[in-house]
């Protein structure tokens, strides 16, 4: 077996009206692990998944999934993968069992084997009791489970999950996380998931890549990415809403041991060698500049900080920007 | 090959089950042609008295026209199912399986054929009750031509759905095309009585090919066979267009 279940190199994709979705995305996913593409909506995560799953063609670049070229050997890739799209892709006018059956028919799974698999999947996703009800009556969490079950009908070696937990309540999200971990651990399925939840990538992914504006800006294990950031994260909430200017940054930049200050709305963030020691100095500098402070916190680096460092903005701000544009 | 059949059967069954679970939709599909038949039948009852009609009742004359028009509608709306499937992500899910692409188009044809046969059976039964009569051969000719025309239109509707991806566009196109295409044929009026220019247009109108063949029926199998061949050729072209449209769609998602 090859060591990489997915290899992408220099993927470029432009949509009509010159919308550049991808500007050279490349990464590799180790077989049998969970890999996360992390980024805001519109960053290019879904486009990457569409190319890797043979749904659409890249303008340039190449990708190999489960040992086959996605463009030249699309049918072989299709047989080896399972795909769970961002939207529910279940037929609401069919029952859960019928949805699974149709998918099995499309993969040409021998009928006797298919029946057994369907029962096993219904059992596993706790859908047996509702198997013969129309999907229209399922809850969001149940539909999502059925989505994943459908993606597993062909026993894929590589599973793509495009934002698997978006829109789920916390309980359903936790269940989904357990299921994804189990897939990778017990069945050696390679999982590529996209998410805009930092905690999701942190919890599930062995390695991740941060995608921003069609590029990969950082990649590695969550631990390695976090440890690249020296010291602690300092967050200072300023009084007076978002009416602050660069004088805040200037005031803080002068404090010894404090780096990379960024102002977002009324929150000032910076990195500090030793956070607890830096706080008094930062507060003093702000006071001297005539800026009132509401609260200050010190924390160990998180993936949020990693994102901030590489994308130049927090994930939340990036999300807002993308929804506005 | 057997796999391609399995894909097609699975997709056809899916569509028919969906239809079956919307009883009011089934009712509309069946009732609408009857309204055309009985309404036009009454309204234009006396046109058969015009010279140019060769006797018989207007219902007798009208039935093949309404039957073909209904097949046209059934085919025209087929693309709506595609738009729903695209909106729901079902289309994308299909496209990332190794299933034969043509199964999608073939299933559309089979589904259309079943709907058209059911619809046509009801139309013919009601026409009989209203006093018309058709030989078994003519009924066969009507069904075959209706299926060929409806199938071609369904594929065209699917192609448009894949490219436009908007319900409004498809509804507009269907409304814009179907009634004029019906009236630019001898569906409602004897060929000899059509205004000259409509007669000229009708000769190139596939709807008219179907209507003429359906009306001649067993009286002249050569005409029926010839029209069936033209419609079959049209069906193949439309099916090819639909598979091309599938590629256009895939490039744009």
Q: What integer pLDDT is reported at residue B212 of this predicted model?
A: 93
* pLDDT tens digits along A6-57: 999 999 999 887 788 999 999 999 999 999 999 888 889 999 999 999 999 9
Residues of A in contact with B96 (CB under 8 A): 53-55, 78, 81, 83
Backbone angle region of A167, left / alpha / beta, with phi > 0 → left and psi within -120 to 50 → alpha: left
Q: How far apart are CA A225 and CA A19, in angstroms?
A: 30
A46 touches chain B (CB under 8 A): no
Residues of chain A with CATH 3.40.50.300: 4-224
Q: φ and ψ at B208, to 5 degrees?
A: -70, -35
What percent of chain A stands above pLDDT 90? 54
The 3-state DSSP class for residue B162 equals helix
Closest CB to A89 among B7, B9, B89: B89
| A260 confidence band (pLDDT: 50, 70, 90) | confident
Specify the domain boundaries for CATH 3.30.70.2470 within chain A.
230-300
Cα–Cα nearest to A160, from A86, A237, A62: A86
Chain A contact probe: residue of B2, B85, B96, B103 with most A CBs at under 10 A: B96
The reply to whether B106 touches chain A by the CB within 8 Å rule is no
> Is B92 an 8 Å CB contact of chain A?
yes
Average pLDDT over residues A190-201: 92
Probe site for chain B from A93, A104, A162, A192 (most B CB atoms < 10 A): A93
Pairing between β-strand A232-238 and β-strand A207-212 as defined by DSSP bridges: unpaired
Residue A325 pLDDT exceeds 60: no
Q: Which of A81, A97, A108 to mutate to test the interface with B (most CBs of B within 10 A)?
A: A108
User: DSSP states of B94-134 as a string?
Assistant: HHTS---THHHHHHHHHHHHHHHHHHHHHHHHHHHHTT---
Give residue A261's pLDDT: 87
**Residues A71 and A150: beta-carbon distance below 8 Å:** no
Tokens at A181, concatenated: 């971990």
Q: How confident is the model at residue A322 (pLDDT cuts 50, 70, 90)?
A: low
Burial of residue B136 (number of CB atoms within 10 Å: 0-12, 13-18, 19+): exposed
B247 touches chain A (CB under 8 A): no
Instruction: Name the β-bridge partners of A15.
Output: A19
Average pLDDT, chain A: 89
Segments of A16-56 assigned E as strands = 19-30, 34-38
Q: With beta carbons under 8 A apart, name residues in chain A contacting B88.
A: 87-92
* Contact between B252 and A16 using a beta-carbon 8 Å cutoff: yes
Chain A residues close to B90, C-beta within 8 Å: 89-91
Question: Which ranges of A188-302 would DSSP assign to H, the alpha helix?
Answer: 198-204, 222-228, 246-253, 275-288
C-alpha span between A22 and A209 (Å, rounded): 14
Instruction: Encode pLDDT of B132-148 as tens digits.
Output: 999 999 999 999 999 99
Q: For chain B, which ranges sit under pLDDT 70?
A: 1
* pLDDT score at A26: 96
Residues of B in contact with A154 (CB under 8 A): 97
Summarised one tens digit per residue, pLDDT across range B192-213 is: 888 888 888 889 999 999 999 9
Alpha carbon B153 to its chain centroid, in Å, reads 6
pLDDT digits (tens, 9 = 90+) for A137-180: 999 889 999 999 999 999 999 999 999 998 888 888 999 999 99
B248 touching A (Cβ < 8 Å): no
Residue B90 touches partner A, C-beta closer than 8 Å = yes
pLDDT higher than 90, residue A321: no
pLDDT higher than threshold 90 for residue A79: yes
Q: What tokens does A314 get?
A: 């927090």
**What is residue B183's predicted lDDT score, i.e. its pLDDT?**
87
d(CA A278, CA A9): 42
Contact A56 B88 (CB under 8 A): no
- Contact flag B17-A94 (C-beta cutoff 8 Å): yes
When mean pLDDT is compared across A97-101, A293-297, B12-16, the lowest value belongs to: A293-297
Tens of pLDDT, residues A201-257:
999 999 999 999 899 999 999 988 888 877 888 889 888 766 677 788 888 888 888
Calculate how close chain A gets to B169, using CA atoms only, in Å: 19
pLDDT of residue A86: 81
CA distance linking residue A53 with residue A79, whole number of Å: 10
Q: Residue A324 — pLDDT band, cuts 50, 70, 90?
A: low
Query: Where does A230-300 sit in CATH, by number?
Result: 3.30.70.2470
Cβ separation B92–A85 shorter than 8 A: yes
Contact state of A88 with B89 under an 8 Å Cβ cutoff: yes
Non-local CB neighbours of A209 within 8 Å, separated by 6+ positions: A27, A35, A36, A37, A38, A216, A218, A219
Domain ranges of chain B: 2-13+32-252
Please give the order of strands across the beta sheet that includes A34-38.
A81-84, A158-162, A190-195, A34-38, A207-212, A215-220
pLDDT value at position A241?
Answer: 66
Please, which pLDDT band fits residue A323 given cuts at 50, 70 and 90?
A: low
Residue A219 and residue A310 in contact, taking contact as beta carbons nearer than 8 Å: no
Structural class in CATH, domain A4-224 = alpha beta
- β-pair type (A34-38, A158-162): unpaired
Q: Do A106 and B17 touch (CB under 8 A)?
A: no
Q: What is the spatial distance between Cα A52 and Cα A65, in angstroms, rounded to a whole number?
A: 7
pLDDT at A166: 86
Enumerate residues 6+ apart whose C-beta is below 8 A from B77. B157, B174
Lowest mean pLDDT across A112-121, A266-275, B75-84, B242-251: A266-275
Which parts of chain A are beta strand (E)?
4-15, 19-30, 34-38, 60-65, 68-69, 81-84, 158-162, 190-195, 207-212, 215-220, 232-238, 258-264, 267-272, 293-299
Backbone angles phi, psi at A90, to 5 degrees: -95, 155
**A100: pLDDT confidence band, cut at 50, 70 and 90?**
very high
| For residue A1, pLDDT beyond 60 | no
């Amino acid at each position: 077996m090859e060591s990489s279940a997915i290899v992408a190199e220099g993927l470029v994709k432009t949509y009509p009206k010159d919308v550049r979705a991808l500007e050279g995305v490349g990464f590799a996913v180790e077989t049998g692990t969970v890999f996360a593409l992390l980024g805001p909506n519109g960053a290019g995560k879904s486009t990457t998944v569409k190319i890797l799953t043979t749904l659409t063609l890249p303008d340039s670049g190449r990708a190999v999934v489960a040992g086959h070229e996605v463009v030249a050997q699309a049918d072989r890739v299709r047989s080896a993968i399972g795909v769970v799209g961002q939207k529910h892709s279940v037929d609401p006018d069919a029952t859960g069992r019928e949805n699974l059956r149709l998918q099995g028919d499309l993969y040409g799974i021998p009928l006797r084997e298919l029946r057994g698999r369907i029962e096993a999947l219904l059992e596993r996703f706790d859908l047996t009791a509702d198997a013969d009800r129309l999907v229209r009556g399922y809850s969001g969490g149940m539909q999502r489970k059925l989505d994943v079950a459908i993606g597993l009908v062909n026993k894929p070696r590589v599973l793509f999950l495009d934002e698997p937990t978006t829109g789920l309540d916390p309980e359903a999200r936790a269940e989904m996380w357990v299921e994804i971990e189990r897939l990778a651990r017990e069945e050696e399925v390679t999982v590529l998931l996209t998410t805009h939840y930092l905690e999701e990538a942190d919890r599930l992914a062995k390695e991740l890549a941060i995608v921003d504006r069609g590029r990969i800006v950082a990649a590695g294990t969550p631990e390695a990415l976090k440890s690249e950031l020296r010291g602690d994260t300092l967050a200072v909430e300023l009084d007076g809403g978002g009416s602050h200017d660069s004088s805040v940054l200037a005031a803080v930049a002068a404090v010894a041991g404090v780096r990379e200050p960024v102002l977002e709305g009324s929150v000032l963030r910076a990195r500090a060698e030793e956070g607890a020691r830096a706080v008094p100095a930062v507060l003093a500098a702000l006071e001297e500049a005539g800026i009132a402070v509401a609260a200050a916190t010190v924390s160990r680096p998180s993936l949020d900080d990693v994102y901030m460092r590489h994308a130049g903005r927090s994930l939340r701000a990036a999300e807002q920007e993308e929804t506005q544009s | 090959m057997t796999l391609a059949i399995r894909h097609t059967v699975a997709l056809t069954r899916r569509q028919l089950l969906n239809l079956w679970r919307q009883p009011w939709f089934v009712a509309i599909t069946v009732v609408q042609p009857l309204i055309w038949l009985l309404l036009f039948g009454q309204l234009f009852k006396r046109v058969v008295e015009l010279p140019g009609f060769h006797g018989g009742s207007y219902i007798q004359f009208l039935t093949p026209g309404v039957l073909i028009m209904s097949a046209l509608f059934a085919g025209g709306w087929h693309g709506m199912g595609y738009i729903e499937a695209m909106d729901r992500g079902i289309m994308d899910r299909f496209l990332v399986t190794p299933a034969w692409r043509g199964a999608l188009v073939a299933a559309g044809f089979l589904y259309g054929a079943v709907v058209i046969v059911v619809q046509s059976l009801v139309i013919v039964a009601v026409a009989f009750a209203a006093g018309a009569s058709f030989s078994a051969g003519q009924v066969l000719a009507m069904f075959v031509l209706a299926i060929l025309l409806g199938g071609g239109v369904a594929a065209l509707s699917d192609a448009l759905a894949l490219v436009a991806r908007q319900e409004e566009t498809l509804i507009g196109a269907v409304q814009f095309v179907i009634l004029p295409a019906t009236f630019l044929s001898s569906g409602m009026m004897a060929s000899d009585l059509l205004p000259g220019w409509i007669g000229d247009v009708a000769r190139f109108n596939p709807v008219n090919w179907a209507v003429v063949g359906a009306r001649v029926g067993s009286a002249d199998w050569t005409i029926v066979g010839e029209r069936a061949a033209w419609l079959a050729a049209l069906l193949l072209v439309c099916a090819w267009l639909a598979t091309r449209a599938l590629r256009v769609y895939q490039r744009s998602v």
